[in-house]
Chains A and B, each alone.
Chain A
Amino acid sequence: MIRLVVLLVALLAACTSEPQPPLVVSDVVVTRPMPGMKMSAAYLSLANNSNEVIRITRVASAQYESVQLHETTIEDGVARMRAIPVLEIAAGETVTLQRGGKHLMLMRPTSASDTVTLQFLDGDDLLLTVDATFEPRTN
């Protein structure tokens, strides 16, 4: 059944004229900096529609001096945050960056803009550019 669905999806994809890009982003949320703080977190899903593994070795932003790939883990009741040197997305897989898990840490803003541009790179190869805005204020 799954194969049939995959086949149908593939057929549908073949019918459309525009080829699907290899890396597709969705559900982008960039947190508004906490009062007094100069850092934000970004959460999103990255889908690899290609037949090869996609590696993201760094993320850049025009509005931040530093963007780091981080992961929060809770092991034995202790929350830890560590840098992820390379984010690998297997062929056909989706990696989700979410609260309490993998996330982007944005540091040292260079502007007061609510707009954030994120560039995902493999070395010097630009894979994807994402435009986002801060999430609405909740309080």
Chain B
Amino acid sequence: MGPKNVLFAVVLAAALALGVIVATRVQSPAELHSAFVLPTPTPLPEFALVDQRGQGITREAFRDHWSLVFFGFTHCPDICPTTLQILSAARKTLADNGQQPLPKIVLVSVDPERDTPELMAQYMAYFGDDNLGITGTLDEVKKLTTGLGIYFAKQPGNEESYAVDHSAAVLLVNPDAEFHALFGGSHQIESFVKDVPLIMDAF
């Protein structure tokens, strides 16, 4: 990470922390388990990417439904499938609890070089049939991640085994396609089951 990126990360972390403090005082439902609601929801940045069917996708695809958005990659054997399984299990519990509407689970690839739409399709199918896998060009992925304060960095290694460091957060995006609340890692099913309905109700 270059000095500029470090500075950016520090400023962003400070801004997020401040936002979190203000948010928890002003707008969050008092009984939230672990989510931080932003004081003012932030519109998703403009981007042009593709979904797991190879169809073009922009921020408009986030309208009219809630989304739980995770940033990861398919060549990640531990934290990525674990997080998606947690989101999938939370969604199932919410459905069993009669929660309506249900949030859509979204994976944004931070490794678009290896994550083709075909690979994303196979991968996402494992976590249910109404989810969204987003990939595309590195530049367009960065438009989305940078605008949301999501960090990722490809690590050294061969083509097969290199890892990608990435923010562990899950973002809750509201039906106006705005970044609405943040769940920090490490994630628990209970956090989403408890907080998502509370945040939706307060919207």
Contact = CB atoms under 8 A, between A and B. Distances in A.
Interface of A: 31, 34-37, 39-41, 66, 68, 70, 72, 74, 76-82, 99-100, 103, 105-108, 138-139
B81 A31 contact: yes
Sorting the interface of chain B by its residue count into under 10, 10 to 19, 20 to 34 or 35 or more gives: 20 to 34
Query: Per DSSP, are chain B's interface residues mostly helix, strand or loop, or mixed?
Result: loop
B77 A39 contact: yes
Given A139-B126, A139-B127, A77 B167 contact: yes
A100 B186 contact: yes
Interface in B142-183: 151, 155, 160-161, 163, 165-169
B161 A37 contact: no
B161 A107 contact: yes
Given A77-B185, A78-B151, A138-B85, A103 B78 contact: yes
A105 to B, nearest CB: 5
Nearest to B85: A138
Interface of B: 13, 74-79, 81-82, 85, 88, 118-119, 122-123, 125-128, 151, 155, 160-161, 163, 165-169, 184-186
Given A74-B168, A77-B167, A81-B163, A100 B75 contact: no
A82 B78 CA distance: 12
B167 A34 contact: no
A36 B168 contact: no
Contacts of A35: 122-123, 125-126
Contacts of B77: 31, 37, 39-41, 103, 105-106
10 contacts: A77-B184, A78-B166, A79-B185, A80-B163, A81-B79, A81-B163, A82-B163, A100-B79, A105-B78, A107-B160
Nearest to A39: B77
B183 to A, nearest CB: 11
B123 A99 contact: no
B79 A72 contact: yes
A69 to B, nearest CB: 12
Contacts of B167: 77-79
A80 B165 contact: yes
A26 to B, nearest CB: 20
Contacts of B81: 31, 34
